[in-house]
Amino acid sequence: MRQPTRLIRDSVDRLKLEVSLPGGRYQLSLDDRAIIVLTDGLGLTERDTVPEPFVPIFVAMGDAWFPNQRDVDAIIDDLSTDGTLNPNERSALISYVTDSNIAERNSERVQTAINRSPIGDEVSAEDLQIVDLPSLPDSLKADETGGKSDNSVEAKQESTAPEEPTRTESEIVSELERIPGIGPQRANQLAEGGVTSLESLADSRPGYLADIEGITEGVAAVAVEGAREIVGRTKPADERLHDQTGVSESVFDPALASLAASGVPASEAVPKLRLLYGPTVADIDAVTGQQAYFLYESGYQTPYDIIQASQEELTDVYQVGSTTAAEIRSAARSMLDTQ
């Protein structure tokens, strides 16, 4: 049974979308622009159901993505566009697509997604703001609140603090090479594209970084997530995996490093490594073999997936009643706490 799209929070407190695709449940990373639409525009909170027509448009706009870039058009085709929109949802979606700057490389994809949606008859190509994004990402010019960074001309003119010494490109490259999966070539490409420090990289958005020559969506996500770990914005992936599986961090380090070098960021690697190295739903004492099968088919593959789900969501799974759902959640939590 297809599960609705939900707004969830991952282990590092970032909001994501949990979506149904052929093969199971998957998590889409969200840019701040999409998060603002969902939380401020629609008033959604964690575990709320997200209107399906929003999702393919988020992906087409580049504001929702699988960190390890796949065929975006194929993903959009697999996403459900079922469901109607109430007046508030329709207004929020129309405002989102007409008020946002859309990268020229995404324009055709965005128009196609809009045409397939309930707002297709209200938004034309002339209503969209198509821009050819500069090589220097906008996210490196402004902080997350929209204010000017210290690198902007306006900020330098207004600031009374002494300017920091100009850093050489070799110093910037050396700093960026601290990120697992970012070697000399990628560090040079990022520096030439306008990245000036780990802090500025941690503030940036993968969708914009991918406009830098030689940087794919996957590598961009590797760079941003790695920078956020180094500067202390997020907990290191190996520590998160230890917390979720009980397996030593040293076991995960080589796998995480090699995957990063291949363009697979931690946000995608962690769920899969958690499944490969940790216990599955079949290891939970309260789960029968039959229940394990249907839980797995519904996207609940590990004890961590179970405790992330609500009791109501587990009750929707075939062969799992409300009493059993509560027992399974309790057993899954106890299992992880004692690892």
- Where are the chain's structural domains? 6-131, 138-230, 237-277, 281-337
Answer yes or no: are the C-beta atoms of 219 and 199 closer than 8 Å. no
HSE-up (13 A, CA, CB side) for residue 91 = 6
Answer yes or no: are the C-beta atoms of 85 and 119 closer than 8 Å. yes
**pLDDT given for residue 68 in this prediction:** 55
The top-level CATH class assigned to 138-230 is: mainly alpha
Compute the distance between CA of residue 308 and CA of residue 47 in angstroms, rounded to an integer.
9
Compute the distance between CA of residue 205 and CA of residue 207 in angstroms, rounded to an integer.
5
Give me 267's structure tokens.
């946000």
What DSSP assignment string belongs to 127-143? GSEEE---SS-GGGTB-
Helix, strand or coil, per DSSP, at residue 321 = coil
| Residue ranges of the chain whose pLDDT lies below 70 | 1-2, 11-13, 67-70, 132-165, 338-339
Beta sheet of 64-65, edge-to-edge order: 6-9, 15-21, 24-30, 64-65
106 to 1, 51, 54, 208, 233: CA distances (angstroms): 32, 22, 16, 12, 29
Compute the distance between CA of residue 291 and CA of residue 252 in angstroms, rounded to an integer.
29
CB atoms within 10 A of CB 276: 12
Q: Which residue has the tokens 């969506």?
A: 217
Q: How far is CA 324 from the centre of its chain?
A: 32
pLDDT in tens, 120-151: 999 999 999 887 644 444 444 434 333 334 44
Compute the distance between CA of residue 315 and CA of residue 336 in angstroms, rounded to an integer.
21
**pLDDT given for residue 130 in this prediction:** 87
Residue length of the chain? 339
**pLDDT given for residue 310 in this prediction:** 83
Compute the distance between CA of residue 309 and CA of residue 300 in angstroms, rounded to an integer.
8
Angle at 159 between CA 196 and CA 165, to 5 degrees: 40
**pLDDT given for residue 9 in this prediction:** 82
Compute the distance between CA of residue 188 and CA of residue 210 in angstroms, rounded to an integer.
14
- Of 1.10.3720.10, 3.40.50.300, 1.10.580.10, 1.10.150.20, the CATH number of 281-337 is 1.10.150.20
Helix (H) or strand (E) run with residue 60 in it: helix 54-61
What DSSP assignment string belongs to 250-306? HHHHHHHHHHHHTT--HHHHHHHHHHHHS--GGGSTT--HHHHHHHHHTT--SHHHH
Compute the distance between CA of residue 83 and CA of residue 9 in angstroms, rounded to an integer.
24
Would 138-230 and 281-337 be classified into the same CATH topology?
yes
